[in-house]
Structure 1
Amino acid sequence: MSPNSTAFSHPPYFLLVGIPGLEKEQFWIAFPFCLMYAIAVLGNITLLLIIKAEPSLHKPMYLFLAMLAFTDLLLSTSVLPKMLGIFWLGSGEIGFLSCLTQLFFIHTLSSVELGVLMAMALDRYVAICCPLRYSSILSVPVVVALGSLVLVRGVLLVSPFCFLLRRMPFCQQHVISHSYCEHMAVVKLACGDTRVNVIYGLFVAFMVTGSDMTLICVSYSRILRVVTRLLSPEAQLKAFSTCVSHVCVILAFYIPALFTFLTHRFGQSIPPHIHITVANLYLLVPPMVNPIVYGVRTKKLWDRVVLLFQQKGP
């Protein structure tokens, strides 16, 4: 093996620094992050158990919600345990293959979450704009097929990230200025030509967010048009109410996601600690907020939660 090939081989491990510039404060920052994770796990597991146990909730809207809850559980779990190890124990080392595995799950699950949010927007469109054909258009097999397509899309689009990085030469620098293995954070450590990685990353990001956001915007523009034509104020309020929770969840995920994506590529003037903190919250806040928003805004779910606690009471 030549000296050049050994100099540019894969490092045995990377070193995650956590939040650059806030190394001394990370110990205390970990406590609210841990609380967010605990709320996310409790809320999403409760949501899944209620939907599974209640036959009346075996409908497209709640099946999509179950997919969202399961995705949130996996997404937050793929990040938080290692993050706490960095913040509390100073255990920032992560093996090369383990880093690629974490990268794969984070980006795949983020893509799946965006796809499920898009499918939920389509569900609201069919429910409000085509109520008489709702059950025939969104049957259970169709819901399962949509969920499967969203998952396959994420896997197929993200897998090349790992294959490209596996073939990239890396220099002696192995410190990742992040709390987890994010694609662009790892690409910045490569010694070779990274244009393919950068271009493909931009393609995936714009294709996924662009197509999903287009469908979401079209769905809600048509929903708004139909709702404004309803004669009864009560009917308008009910229709708006069914969409408010979903819009809140979409904003909670898309705003920090777009901030993180754009900052990695065009936001060099933004302080690293702000960028990385938002990137951490982007993977922790939506999983925490989603079950709360849907539990409070969806009457059937809220009634079931209340009934569950009443049964456990004295």
Structure 2
Amino acid sequence: MYQLAGKRVYVAGHRGMVGSAIVRRLAQENCELLTSPREVDLREQAAVREWFAANRPDTVVVAAAKVGGILANDSYPAQFLYDNLMIEANVIDAAHRSGAQKLLFLGSSCIYPRMAPQPIPEEALLTGPLEPTNEWYAIAKIAGIKLCQAYRREYGCDFISAMPTNLYGPGDNFDLTSSHVLPALIRKAHEAKVAGAPSIEIWGSGTPRREFLHVDDLADGCIFLLKNYSGEEHINLGSGKDLPIIELAQLVCDVVGFEGQITKDTSKPDGTPRKLMSGDRIAKMGWAPRISLRAGIEDAYRAFLEQQA
């Protein structure tokens, strides 16, 4: 078991939804939290190496990434591939060079093939074609997993990877041009309620099924893996339950209090038909999420209202 107490822990991406949740969870671990200032651009190798040499963290969590939904991934393929490759390569290499004892790299469920078996086991990686609408982000994240494996094999680094499912919660991005489906639905339903609009629109057919995990559950799972896991294989982190997008939209409308209709723009892409990950491996280790989807959406809606205020 790896002890976090007394360690210097660096969270790359501490201002984002995932990073800030991990920072909140680390407050329970009696460790020293390290964060890099905004002027340290993680895409720039020299700046990252200089910061690591000066601060020498014992433990590193790579939560920094350029993220977004289908529209953003499809619109900015070069940025999603280049920025994420640079961030992960620079941080992972600098962690090795500065003598970090442990590193956790966070990927995404989009690393798996578009038509992967359901629920998706970790072994499905690289067994088929990716979903075209987010392959740039997926390829970058796959490279990060492989980089951690390579540094483990060549240098003996205790670098591990976790693959979260679709995340949501406080600190989420509610911009309709770049957000993921759940925060976009929260904003659409709220604005329609306030405006007295008769309906809201969702992209696609509403039939694709998605799994969701509250970001505070993710943070708890990350701390669990840092303490209890040391292996080359990446580990799935999810809720183990999925639902169709249309049912998600209905649940969001119920939480927000919007009573209008839900219409479908079938000219827009659906994305991957289903993306439910197998959580068997981490469940056997003794970890499970605690926040229900409805309670999590209520929490995310409160956060949205606070952000608007």
Fold similarity call, TM over 0.5: no
Q: Which has the larger radius of gyration?
A: 1
Structure-2-length-normalised TM-score: 0.28
Q: Report 1 or 2 for greater relative contact order, CA contacts < 8 Å, sequence distance ≥ 6.
A: 1
Structure (1 or 2) with the greater helix fraction: 1
Structure (1 or 2) with the greater strand fraction: 2
